[in-house]
Amino acid sequence: MSTLVIVESPTKARTIRNFLPSNYRVEASMGHVRDLPSSAEEIPESVKGEKWAQLGVNVEADFEPLYVIPKDKKKIVKELKDALKDATELILATDEDREGESISWHLLQILKPKVPIKRMVFHEITREAIRDALTHCRDIDNRVVQAQETRRILDRLVGYTLSPLLWKKIAWGLSAGRVQSVAVRLLVRRERERRAFRQGSYWDLKALLTPPNPPLGKGGASDNSPLGKGGQGGAFDAKLVTVGNVKVANGSDFDENTGQIIAGRRVLLLNEEQARALLDRIQNKPWTVGNIEERPVTRKPSPPFTTSTLQQEANRKLRLGARETMRIAQSLYERGFITYMRTDSVHLSEQAITAARSCVQELYGSEYLSPQPRKYTTKSKGAQEAHEAIRPAGSTFRTPQQTGLDGIDFRLYDLIWKRTVASQMADSRQTHVTVLTQVEDAGFRSSGKRIDFPGFLRAYVEGSDDPNAALEDQEVILPALKVGDKPNCKDVGAVGHETQPPARYTEASLVKMLESEGVGRPSTYASIIGTIVDRGYAKLIANALIPTFTAFAVTTLLETHFPDLVDTGFTSRMEQTLDEIATGEAKWLPYLQKFYTGEMGLATQVKEQESQIDAKVARTVILENITAKVCIGKYGAYLESESEEGQVKASIPQDLTPADLDPEKVDFLLKQKTEGPEKLGLHPETGEPIYVLIGNYGPYVQLGDVSETNKKPKRSSLPKGTDKDSVTVEMAVSLLTLPRLLGTHPDTGAKVQANLGMYGPYVVHDQGKVGKDYRSIKPPDDVLTITLDRALELLSQPKAVRGSKSTTPLKELGAHPESGELLNVYDGRYGPYVKHGDINASLSKDESVENFTLQKALDLLAAKEAAGGGKSSSKSKKSTKTAAAKSETATEKTAAKKTTAKKTTTAAKKTTTKKAATATATKKKTTSS
């Protein structure tokens, strides 16, 4: 008797095999084995003529989905069917969330097993958990499947109905996912607020005080002084808060839209002259402590991690993106280190509470243990992905040092371990102290904080990797003082301030906003943010998500013509309905009918609005304080302005976002177009003019004019971060000498040069036909001054792989049989990939690095090369590839091209392997368990 167990990934399969008897065979489905067609070539011939075929959903027959087995999954399906022939029992052990339930359902529909079937679920991969799950198997939950399939169909309908409209009206290749569009709108709204922001300025005074000299014969403040216990002598800061009993204005008193004090606020706004006059008036005057207030504060630990809070904290502390956080967490889960990582529950099992409290007792002592076990409950009604928070796996928690993990795996596990353990620790007790001092009619305030008992802060402090350091930073100890004391003023000065615009969203704050608004689900946030960046709706700069001109155009069109679809409230209610379908409180078919084909349904709205949308208007972006029009063109954004000589158009550099476009830059770009480039000076040797220009890829300098005899003048980009206005003739001359010949390599005799490229400054060892060896130049080294010796030192260092997080490969596979080049798996921006020459091939999401072999790498590289995956071919493909209408819950990367009633064109292939399966209990389909 043998039992076939099917899970999603090879890593998960390998881990589970260790915990099952020898007569259990564990195989991986590699994620979804069936999905809606992603391209026209996947649509069966029998339905290609149907007008709904491109959608993949028969909207005329109760929204019956058209499921197909993708080409890359047919081999896997055959292997699973072959494995099932020898089995006497089938156990479907996919993840316990909605998507996992859907994968099991699809496997059931494809395999059509004639043996007994069980559904096994678990939230951690440990021997105890797997053995326990075997004894508590259940049937497939058809209501959960139905909810997930409804979500999949809904996302397909939104994406594939709106995206073609964007292609027609704005630009080819745009997508309009259901949750993605709402997230983009949040970014655009924040950027609009920043552009509308008007800066305000104010002044105040800041003083440095020291406690009064103690009377002779005494050691300081008396024991009954409010600050006597624990007080320390030393200087402390004091800030001006009142003048003549009137509050002095600070940043919170300003109206962001006017830069003026909010109407009705009774505050005193000091300018520089008034602040300095007050400073002169209080110089050398006595200071007196007027009031001291102590306020006890108790802080409780945060609950254990959910998917969204893990993404937020990993972004704040580890600078990890949401997608990268989920990839690492997935690996930790599949290897048995943590519990399931897609959950919006903060609940801890009794086993986990016991394990956490044991850690506290052993590592910190009983005084740091909370008096009673802390039990957390989830407030969100829809919290039903998994039924426990993210925590270390097992009945006892391994400390981070006991895991054998290293690198970023170790750091993320360490974060999860600390948060879980801290959740069962005692409260932190603090005392907040406020001291008010008076000099003349000016009132100053000093704030202090004393940590009386650190409690959970010993283990975990939000926003810091070092709890001990963070603990010290949190304490601000004021000296022992009492009312009537006369502190000494060591220094006092006038300080100017300017109000700041609203902060841009980071990945962490966007995830927090989406969750608080009830938009999307935690398991989708990583793919949503990834799509926004990949599709060019936002740039991730210094951890901030900055929307592009395209994002502004798409958001404006959707706000104007389809306001509900980008309204957070509408999208939140949609999520609630999908949750209610999972619990049986709502019916899926009437909901889809109303949403799509009803009188105010999406299909009706698109049909009505299409003729009303002026493409020229849709492609135009209106920005505050910019008189010229910003338009979205085939090759990117450009400026359009009317002048005496007619219409002027000027390209906007690709790295320039709406946030950076101000009237000065607009004038420069237009002037450059009409009057020619700005002349910096003359080259001291040739006498040719040197110009400073701004092109598609940013500012650069140019030697000489473009003419029939000099069609390509010598040019050089400015180093990153260099403002065009700071360029001097000397700097320009130096830049125009690039590439600089530094000398010859002592081993090869080949030349070594320094130059600037698309990715910044670099040195190169150029061996001609043998090849070129590059290394980046990082500060404090300078491309204009670097020496041959320093270049040789850089070239001797291991080569970093572009896009990778480390020069160290994740796994060494061996030599390529033809080229002899070593093949390795690297950690790139978009996940693990293997590299050979100019070809980079990403591992599928469900592929384990640990199980990835040399042969798999060769197959993957061959497939990529056959598809034209080299650097040169990929560029040409980008210009012709069809962009996708993406449904973000499925991380689907490409969509079918628009089909007419009589003709279906070929669409782009999918670029990700993760697919969200869809299913409905229609009259033509039945479920079995």
Kindly list the catalytic residues: 340
- Total length of the chain: 929
Q: Does residue 348 come out as left (phi exceeding 0), alpha (psi in the -120 to 50 range) or beta?
A: beta
User: What one-character DSSP code corresponds to residue 563?
Assistant: G
Q: Which of 261, 105, 278 is nearest to 198 (CA)?
A: 261
β-partners of residue 209 are 236, 489
Q: Coil, helix or strand for 903?
A: coil
Q: Coil, helix or strand for 615?
A: helix
CB 203 within 8 A of CB 495: yes
Phi and psi (nearest 5°) for 618? -65, -30
User: What one-character DSSP code corresponds to residue 625?
Assistant: T
Q: Does residue 201 come out as left (phi exceeding 0), alpha (psi in the -120 to 50 range) or beta?
A: beta
List Cα–Cα distances, 539 to 178, 476, 543, 780, in angstroms.
20, 38, 9, 27
* Distance from C-alpha of 240 to C-alpha of 444, rounded to nearest angstrom: 4
H or E, element range at 488: strand 488-498
For the chain, the distance separating the N- and C-terminal CA atoms, rounded to the nearest angstrom, is 21
Dig out the tokens for 25 from the structure.
């065979």
* Distance from C-alpha of 617 to C-alpha of 632, rounded to nearest angstrom: 10
* Distance from C-alpha of 221 to C-alpha of 232, rounded to nearest angstrom: 10
- Residues in CB range of 715: below 8 A, 6 or more apart: 700, 701, 702, 703, 736
H or E, element range at 342: none
* Distance from C-alpha of 283 to C-alpha of 508, rounded to nearest angstrom: 46
Q: Coil, helix or strand for 680?
A: strand
For residue 353, give the amino acid letter: I
* Distance from C-alpha of 912 to C-alpha of 326, rounded to nearest angstrom: 15
Dig out the tokens for 476 from the structure.
């601000």
- Residues in CB range of 514: below 8 A, 6 or more apart: 179, 182, 183, 186, 308, 520, 525, 528
* Distance from C-alpha of 915 to C-alpha of 891, rounded to nearest angstrom: 7
CB 533 within 8 A of CB 323: no
CA neighbours closer than 13 Å in the CB half-sphere of residue 131? 7
β-partners of residue 90 are 4, 117
Dig out the tokens for 336 from the structure.
């048995």
* Distance from C-alpha of 165 to C-alpha of 32, rounded to nearest angstrom: 29
- Residues in CB range of 234: below 8 A, 6 or more apart: 210, 211, 477, 479
Phi and psi (nearest 5°) for 162? -85, -35
H or E, element range at 500: none
Dig out the tokens for 804 from the structure.
């990778």
* Distance from C-alpha of 462 to C-alpha of 648, rounded to nearest angstrom: 52
Dig out the tokens for 457 from the structure.
């802060």
CB 66 within 8 A of CB 925: no
Burial of 105 from C-beta contacts in 10 A (0-12 / 13-18 / 19+): buried
* Distance from C-alpha of 633 to C-alpha of 615, rounded to nearest angstrom: 11
